[in-house]
């Protein structure tokens, strides 16, 4: 079995699922896009669900690799910006995968992989907020609500920029953090 062929199938699946959604995508679309025979597909994947699940796992692995735990010895605001920037960069580098994860137009059971990951991230954000409150850096607040708001905002922002070309991940990260710190009210 060839790593290249498996990679071609995964790239084709990204494109097809992104364009057609999970329900409308068929194995025939994927193999046509990859330029392989149906039997070759089944050497690597059992089903459409299997290749879709592998794409979701790929996203989760890459996000885990890019999101770093905040180091108390460095500026926490800068580290949060860097984490957000890396997430936005991934979404822009892998637009098809980002669309797949954020479209959510398939069996909810398949999204348990990303749902668990997003829940982990919400808990990391919540933990960071709790630490910030304890250190007196953040006002007392319902950290569960705020963490979910941050996650929801980031997802929505990514959806909004996926079809744009001139996107600066650093600017997006700066704006998200500034909004989180200052809101929009002008004193």
Domain segments of the chain: what residues?
A: 1-45, 48-182
Residue 185: pLDDT over 90: no
pLDDT score at 118: 81
Structure tokens at 44: 């690597």
Residue % of the chain over a pLDDT of 70: 95
d(CA 169, CA 187) in angstroms, rounded, equals: 27
| Residue whose tokens read 């605001």 | 77
Q: What is the CATH number of domain 1-45?
A: 1.10.10.60
Contact (CB, 8 A) for 153 and 176: yes
Residue 144: pLDDT over 70: yes
pLDDT score at 181: 77
pLDDT score at 132: 78
Among 68-77, 102-111, 137-146, 166-175, name the one with the lowest average pLDDT.
Answer: 102-111
Q: What average pLDDT score do residues 157-185 get?
A: 88
| Residue whose tokens read 């250190």 | 135
Q: What is the CATH number of domain 48-182?
A: 1.10.357.10
pLDDT band at 176 (very low <50, low <70, confident <90, very high): confident
d(CA 7, CA 9) in angstroms, rounded, equals: 5
pLDDT score at 105: 60
Structure tokens at 26: 């068929």
Q: What average pLDDT score do residues 62-74 get?
A: 82
């Amino acid at each position: 079995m060839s790593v290249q062929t498996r990679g071609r199938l995964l790239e084709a699946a990204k494109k097809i699922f992104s364009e057609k959604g999970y329900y409308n995508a068929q194995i025939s679309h994927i193999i046509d896009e990859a330029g392989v025979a149906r039997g070759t597909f089944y050497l690597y994947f059992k089903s459409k669900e299997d290749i879709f699940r592998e794409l979701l796992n790929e996203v989760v692995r890459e996000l885990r690799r890019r999101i770093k735990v905040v180091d108390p010895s460095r500026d926490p605001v800068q580290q949060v910006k860097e984490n957000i920037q890396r997430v936005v960069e991934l979404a822009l580098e892998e637009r098809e995968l980002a669309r797949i994860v954020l479209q959510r137009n398939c069996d909810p059971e398949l999204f348990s992989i990303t749902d668990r990951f997003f829940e982990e991230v919400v808990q990391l954000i919540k933990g960071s907020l709790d630490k910030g409150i304890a250190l007196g850096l953040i006002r007392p607040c319902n950290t569960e609500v705020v963490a979910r708001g941050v996650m929801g905002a980031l997802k929505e922002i990514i959806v909004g920029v996926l079809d744009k070309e001139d996107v600066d991940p650093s600017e997006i990260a700066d704006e998200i953090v500034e909004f989180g710190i200052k809101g929009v009210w002008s004193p």
